Structure 1
């Protein structure tokens, strides 16, 4: 159940990347059935035409559903179950004295046939979702829309369209830097977990607007196209691999006049690993900042300018203005 202040908030339109884009704010919106099927096929190596069943774990509380699942598994048909926050609860990796506890947004588990019709657990796959939070508060915009829904029955859509300020009151720009800093360590950690032998891999799903906003944090890397239609983000000099341990799903909303909500579509499927992301974030981006004339060079000037407000002697000396003189003809006197 969403909190009252953000109830009903799904997508926010913003020009923070220089062009107007839809920024997904609700992570539950990204639990898109076609995307989950694509993830299951990719993580567990199924062919595009394979009949893969994906079942939320709470569904198995129904005896018939559990029996149907056992039958599928015994027949060798691809069967995946998954846990999620609202669907059976998140799966967590416990802390040790040398490592932190982490929970996974969604955990996919491949079920395999065992002895005498039993079901056994195969590999697991991690499916992470990162949307965007915004500065300010959703509360005022939610209140405006709730009031309009009661006061303008029958003409709600037209009323909102003629009062766009209702949608933005109290909402500020996306919290880009904080979202990346909060996500980066988790990405590295979970991508490494996904590379373990018992795991089928890890997928991070993010909206295109979020991916665009992260380019400065990653040093704006070049993606390498792969023959299968996907892309690779690897360190320079490394050969692209067919089955990397980690994937970034970049998705976008597809505007539709008939479907509500607008369907999601995959824009880029990017194969990568923790080492590559670490390289671009911790090596390439800082190197760009240190280049001559880059942001670090300008940092000292910015500090000096700010301090000069309190210590005027730090203000840079003004350049003397050139004095223009008139040429004087012989016999004339210059006044």
Structure 2
């Protein structure tokens, strides 16, 4: 989160940054930290999230929908004699969707916590506990991840272009990014001198996307994982990708379908699949395979 914030607001890695959850402002010690940091000219970001101060967002109008932001980061420029706020940043977090419902897993875990709270942590590390966490959960819903994400991602990247907004970012695990690739015509990532990447589109590979919109791809660092000590895997960045709304629209809505239909095979596959299903329902109208002729052809 801190790395994403520095990227959106343009803070250097060496600059002092105070990253503060909004609810902690009710504490006198936190207030003192904010005052002292502002006086020293250090950066202060207050962040809001559903369970940390509540989500922020834009209100609906007659021509635009209502949107909430997963994380909203707001600069504090001053506190004396009154609060002065600067730019805000938008950061979304999209995890993987799965077929099935979390209800069954939640019920099992809640029951275990209620009946045996002292040993609950140990229970989660057992085979039975890990099994409970995935009760009646099925495979990842790869297509749904992109369908649910794409519209709001493009919309919010457009919002990030406003002068009051420092930038917008989407944080996704590597598995989600991999599932997105086909929807974006399997784009190339062009590495930049600073270690970031650009979502490549077209032949002009030197052209950088406009605005300040980023996709932050992260993965789990399992190098120090131990089932015995209960230490969770650390989250580490994998790719930091600069893009913009127009590039995503072009890739998802123009490039991908154009390439998919280039040889016609997806269209032909629809007819063939329909034929196979109808054959099972109404076999009489499909003559069976006959023996090969002397010429080696197969007649249907």
| Short-chain TM bin | 0.7 to 0.9
Kindly indicate whether the alpha-carbon contact (under 8 Å) linking 1:134 and 1:174 is maintained by their aligned counterparts in 2. Answer: yes
The answer as to 2:94 corresponding to 1:130 is: yes
Kindly indicate whether the alpha-carbon contact (under 8 Å) linking 2:174 and 2:219 is maintained by their aligned counterparts in 1. Answer: yes
Q: Judging changes above 3 Å, is the alpha-carbon distance between structure 1 residues 192 and 265 closer, same or farther for their aligned structure 2 residues?
A: same
Instruction: Please name the residue that 1:108 is paired with.
Output: 73
Q: Judging changes above 3 Å, is the alpha-carbon distance between structure 1 residues 226 and 243 closer, same or farther for their aligned structure 2 residues?
A: farther
Unaligned runs of 5+ residues in structure 1 are 1-35, 325-335
Q: 2:141 aligns with which of 153, 175, 190?
A: 175
Instruction: Please name the residue that 2:160 is paired with.
Output: 194
In structure 1, distance between residues paired with 2:165 and 2:124: 50
Q: Quote how far apart the aligned CAs of 1:308 are.
A: 3.8
Kindly indicate whether the alpha-carbon contact (under 8 Å) linking 2:145 and 2:176 is maintained by their aligned counterparts in 1. Answer: no
Alignment of 1:193-272 (within 5 A): 193-238=159-204, 239-241=206-208, 244-255=211-222, 256-257=225-226, 260-272=231-243
* Bigger Cα displacement from structure 2, 250-259 vs 216-225: 250-259
Q: Helix, strand or coil for the counterpart of 2:139?
A: strand
Unaligned runs of 5+ residues in structure 2 are 296-300
Q: Judging changes above 3 Å, is the alpha-carbon distance between structure 1 residues 228 and 146 closer, same or farther for their aligned structure 2 residues?
A: same
Kindly indicate whether the alpha-carbon contact (under 8 Å) linking 2:98 and 2:139 is maintained by their aligned counterparts in 1. Answer: yes
Q: Quote how far apart the aligned CAs of 1:141 are.
A: 4.1
Q: Judging changes above 3 Å, is the alpha-carbon distance between structure 1 residues 125 and 225 closer, same or farther for their aligned structure 2 residues?
A: same
In structure 2, distance between residues paired with 1:233 and 1:42: 16
In structure 2, distance between residues paired with 1:155 and 1:178: 32
Kindly indicate whether the alpha-carbon contact (under 8 Å) linking 1:202 and 1:245 is maintained by their aligned counterparts in 2. Answer: yes
Q: Which has the larger radius of gyration?
A: 1
Q: TM-score, normalised by structure 1?
A: 0.76
Q: Quote how far apart the aligned CAs of 1:317 are.
A: 7.0
Kindly indicate whether the alpha-carbon contact (under 8 Å) linking 1:83 and 1:90 is maintained by their aligned counterparts in 2. Answer: yes
Q: Quote how far apart the aligned CAs of 1:155 are.
A: 11
Q: Quote how far apart the aligned CAs of 1:291 are.
A: 2.1
Kindly indicate whether the alpha-carbon contact (under 8 Å) linking 1:41 and 1:48 is maintained by their aligned counterparts in 2. Answer: yes
